[in-house]
Amino acid sequence: MEGHTTYHLLLRDIVVQTSTGSLRRISELHPSHLPLQYPLLFPYGDDGYRVDIPHRDRDQYFSLILNSKRLFQQFLVDAYTMIESKRLHIIRSKQQILRCESYENLRNQQDLENKDISNVGQPVILPSSFTGGAHYMMQKNFDAMSLCKWFGYPDFFITFT
């Protein structure tokens, strides 16, 4: 892949020693990452998060993870960031097949004698299906405006804090 540079941001770095003695870095999406990061929550070395994890019914037993208080909160944040990392990885790998008007804007910039478009736009375009992204927010705004057009503008705007 000539001319392409790939950057990986490692937020959590875990290095394990294999049975042969060599060192191996594991990804945050590896099923063993959470048990290695939180050995108190996974005392038997069960797998943590993995893609396509099967659903199982909850039995009436003591849950160490749910009763670990502040460690559970940290665990939830890490698990959530793992899921978001996987979603961003999928979006980043599918950039070539995404259909987006922002690509049209980049092509227009290139045609207007601006041959260096490296500082124009963003390197990864998030689709409107990515919660919290710019396109997601614009889509929600358009939805709200269409509701106002159909039902009429609201008389009161009340916020609670």
Instruction: Give the pLDDT score at 124.
Output: 74
Q: Do 83 and 136 reside in the same domain of the chain?
A: no
Instruction: Give the pLDDT score at 29.
Output: 78
Instruction: Specify if 1 maps to a domain.
Output: no
Instruction: Specify if 3 maps to a domain.
Output: no
Report the SS3 class of residue 34: helix
Cβ-in-10-Å burial (0-12, 13-18, 19+) of 31 comes to: middle
Q: Do 30 and 103 reside in the same domain of the chain?
A: no
Instruction: Give the pLDDT score at 94.
Output: 79
Q: Structure pTM?
A: 0.57
pLDDT single digits (tens) 128-147: 888 888 888 999 989 989 99
d(CA 105, CA 111): 10
What's the number of domains the chain is made of? 3
56: containing domain: 8-93
Instruction: Give the pLDDT score at 117.
Output: 61
Instruction: Give the pLDDT score at 2.
Output: 44
Instruction: Give the pLDDT score at 1.
Output: 38
122, 98 contact by CB (below 8 A): no
Q: What DSSP designation does 96 have?
A: T
Where does a domain end: 93, 110, 134?
Answer: 93
Instruction: Give the pLDDT score at 100.
Output: 57
d(CA 123, CA 135): 15
Q: Do 37 and 83 reside in the same domain of the chain?
A: yes
35, 48 contact by CB (below 8 A): yes
Q: Do 13 and 80 reside in the same domain of the chain?
A: yes
Q: Do 48 and 68 reside in the same domain of the chain?
A: yes
Instruction: Specify if 115 maps to a domain.
Output: yes
Residue type at position 105: N
pLDDT single digits (tens) 40-52: 888 887 776 666 7
Instruction: Give the pLDDT score at 88.
Output: 85
Q: Do 151 and 79 reside in the same domain of the chain?
A: no
Ranges under pLDDT 50 in the chain: 1-10
Instruction: Give the pLDDT score at 103.
Output: 61
Instruction: Specify if 160 maps to a domain.
Output: yes
